[in-house]
Structure 1
Amino acid sequence: MHPTLGPNSPAASRLGLGCMSMTGTYGPIDTQEAAATLLEALDSGVTMFDTGDFYGDGANEELLGQTLAPHRDRAVLATKTGVRRTAEGLVPAGSPDDLRRACEASLRRLRTDHIDLYYLARIDPAVPVEESVGALADLVAEGKVGHIGLSEVSATTLRRAHAIHPISAVQTEYSLWERHVENDILPTIRSLGATLIAYSPLGRGLLTGSVRAGTRYAPGDFRATAPRYHGDDLKANLAIIDAISRIAAAKSTSPAQIALAWLLNRGSDVIPIPGSSRRPHLRDNLAALDLHLTATDLRDIDAALPDTRAQGARYSDHGIALIDQ
């Protein structure tokens, strides 16, 4: 069963592709390999491609536009706006004028006349969410946007937004080690008939086993500023990957496939979007679609994980301040 984003929306693949890492969020990137990864994903049945206008200052959207424009009818393009990059970091920009300008720029970079799913990436505290969503609703009415999404919002804000225009999807971090959405956000999403788009389903690499105590991050790597990837927090969190690795070994599969298959079992209204800029990683992730986890497997996975789940904040103080809690 393939999930949809609402009435008259194209079907999305059960596993999407997060594209943020294709323009240097985790260090230097081979753009030719990234483009080849996009095309292989498409040919492998992936239809949902997730980007943002602040990923690489627009370079990420340009890469998707250049690569996927000839195949536009096969791709569900999702992009985000509502923040702008400054010397101090990202700042909210959710006014109607900001959103309209951003949409026009994204359409140009993506080389398309419409965006299938357009997210408000962060809530601007200076602009009522009703105004921001109202501006996005105008873009829907004009045919420039198909469906509206929100990212990193509280259940209360989601309800307020949905009262203005149906919210088709909510994107937030969700994985074996980050399950905050299960308290209020996921139940609210389901009550509204929306879809949860789970970003960082592999814990930005930790759930693949690629992050260890001695890992050194490349210049510009996001994880260099995220507390849970350092020091005592990281040491505690490595117990999670050790537990998953033992289960993966018993099933002759990879830790990444275990983590993704677990998320796929949360419901057809949960779409994980693991990020990858290289084809071997893409192939490993896609294999999770064929991995069957029994009820016993799922109980064993839950039992093997530390009760505390991830230790440490998932963003720097500046990043946490941007999240609507």
Structure 2
Amino acid sequence: MKQRQLGNGGPLVGAVGLGCMSFAGFYGETDIATSHDTLDACRDHGVDFLDTALIYGMGKSEEVIGSYLKENPNHGFKIATKGGIETKPTRHFDNSEGALRRALESSMTRLGVDYIDLYYIHRREQERPIEDVTETLAKFIKEGKIGGIGYSEIAPSSLRRAHAVYPIMAVQSEYSLWTRQPEMGMIQTCEELGVAFVPFSPVARGMFADTLPNPETFGGSDFRKDQPRFTGENFTANCAKLDRFRDFCTSRGWSPAGAAIAWTLDQGDHLIPIPGTRSRAHLEQLVDGDAIEFTDEDRAEIKRILPIGWAHGDRYSDAQIVGVERYC
């Protein structure tokens, strides 16, 4: 697999990483053996950048990864995890030094490591200046606990404020052929500042799979069941568009998932998508995207089939979107 740099001065990692939310059952039940097999497949294919978070199953995803790292001490993975979301007494955001230190140290314990390559603020606490939060994270770097600072779902203006305090390694946001907001300033700002942009959900939460998901089969823990894009007329309209895209991919000999990853990679050399899966077979389709080279004709046809703004419905429910900085 080709490699890309994780921000100015950061490590080189595979151009496609792995989002590990699925290891905590957000898209259906799984087990440790299946998750470990997926991690084996990552190593087989050069996927060496793993993204997890404390909030994923309240540590379950980190525990799964930690058990794998313990069994495979020469794994070669670069690890990113996230903190800043508290769930008790109710869900809220706490970016204070004390809360972040506790979160980081608990993540390190579950992962079985004494160093995290990249540590993200999962959601900003708006009442606390981002400059103060960045100073806290810079302190963690000086203490040798983390290698780089990241932020999730922030605005370009917030990135500029943070980067003025200490160089930011990465920003992650949802970005794909059906979620295009980062094109309104974040991708450009990251490129200007030398910050990696890390798209999560680049295959649209399974919508670019070979077979479209069926919302009627979503279990109680499935992250998608309340999202407007997966409900009613929105879902029907989205499926019709994706049927045409799937036909186009078939005519080119690509999987839809591989083509979706290739499109994301094609948007800039500083993008490192982190599709999520708990399956070796799905992972192998995703990494195929690194080998797809688009012609100008391909780009024009994709734009015609899936023009910017084509998706019906919001990407999050009203409850899920709390904390996301909406800048346009």
The answer, yes or no, to whether TM exceeds 0.5 is: yes
Q: 1:106 and 2:121 equivalent?
A: no
Q: 1:175 and 2:176 equivalent?
A: yes
- State the identity as a percent: 38
CA contact (8 A) 2:16 2:47 kept: yes
CA distance in 2, matches of 1:213, 1:46: 29
CA distance in 2, matches of 1:115, 1:189: 22
CA contact (8 A) 2:86 2:94 kept: yes
Q: What's the counterpart of residue 220 of structure 1?
A: 221
1:212, distance to aligned residue in structure 2 (A) = 5.0
Q: 1:207 and 2:212 equivalent?
A: no
Q: What's the counterpart of residue 257 of structure 1?
A: 258
1:230, distance to aligned residue in structure 2 (A) = 0.5
For each residue in 1:73-97, what CA deviation from the matched residue of structure 2 results, as whole angstroms up to 9, or x when unmatched?
Answer: 6111011111022475x42121111
Q: 1:74 and 2:76 equivalent?
A: yes
For each residue in 1:244-295, what CA deviation from the matched residue of structure 2 results, as whole angstroms up to 9, or x when unmatched?
Answer: 1011110122111111111111122111111110111111111222222211
1:308, distance to aligned residue in structure 2 (A) = 2.8
Q: What's the counterpart of residue 118 of structure 1?
A: 119
CA distance in 1, matches of 2:76, 2:69: 9
Q: What's the counterpart of residue 85 of structure 1?
A: 87
1:314, distance to aligned residue in structure 2 (A) = 1.2
CA distance in 2, matches of 1:179, 1:46: 25
Q: Which amino acid aligns with 1:273?
A: I
Instruction: List structure 1 runs of 4+ shifted beyond 6 angstroms.
Output: none
More helix by share: 1
CA contact (8 A) 1:58 1:109 kept: yes
Structure 1, gaps ≥5 residues long: none
Matches within 5 A, 1:182-197: 182-197=183-198
1:131, distance to aligned residue in structure 2 (A) = 1.6
Q: Which amino acid aligns with 1:276?
A: T
Matches within 5 A, 1:303-318: 303-318=304-319
CA contact (8 A) 1:4 1:12 kept: yes
Q: What's the counterpart of residue 232 of structure 1?
A: 233
Going from structure 1 to structure 2, the CA distance change for 1:80 and 1:11 (only over 3 Å counts) comes to same
SS at match of 1:300: helix
Q: What's the counterpart of residue 64 of structure 2?
A: 63
CA distance in 2, matches of 1:196, 1:307: 19
Q: What's the counterpart of residue 149 of structure 1?
A: 150
For each residue in 1:176-203, what CA deviation from the matched residue of structure 2 results, as whole angstroms up to 9, or x when unmatched?
Answer: 1111101111111111111110100000
For each residue in 1:191-240, what CA deviation from the matched residue of structure 2 results, as whole angstroms up to 9, or x when unmatched?
Answer: 11111101000000012154356642112000012111111111221133
Matches within 5 A, 1:18-33: 18-33=19-34
CA distance in 1, matches of 2:269, 2:153: 20
Q: What's the counterpart of residue 159 of structure 1?
A: 160
CA contact (8 A) 2:3 2:13 kept: yes
For each residue in 1:97-154, what CA deviation from the matched residue of structure 2 results, as whole angstroms up to 9, or x when unmatched?
Answer: 1111111111111111110011011111232111211111100011100000110000
For each residue in 1:27-65, what CA deviation from the matched residue of structure 2 results, as whole angstroms up to 9, or x when unmatched?
Answer: 211221111111220222111001001101001111111
Matches within 5 A, 1:47-58: 47-58=48-59
Greater shift, 124-133 or 193-202, is seen at 124-133
Going from structure 1 to structure 2, the CA distance change for 1:8 and 1:180 (only over 3 Å counts) comes to closer
Going from structure 1 to structure 2, the CA distance change for 1:13 and 1:214 (only over 3 Å counts) comes to closer
SS at match of 1:310: coil
Q: What's the counterpart of residue 299 of structure 1?
A: 300
CA distance in 2, matches of 1:212, 1:287: 21
Q: Which amino acid aligns with 2:22?
A: S
Q: What's the counterpart of residue 133 of structure 1?
A: 134
Q: Which amino acid aligns with 2:272?
A: I
CA contact (8 A) 1:78 1:117 kept: yes
Query: How many residues are aligned here?
Result: 324
Q: What's the counterpart of residue 15 of structure 2?
A: 14
Q: CA RMSD in A?
A: 1.6
Q: Which amino acid aligns with 2:322?
A: A
SS at match of 1:208: coil
Q: Which amino acid aligns with 2:232?
A: G
CA distance in 1, matches of 2:93, 2:308: 34
CA distance in 2, matches of 1:240, 1:76: 36
Going from structure 1 to structure 2, the CA distance change for 1:185 and 1:150 (only over 3 Å counts) comes to same
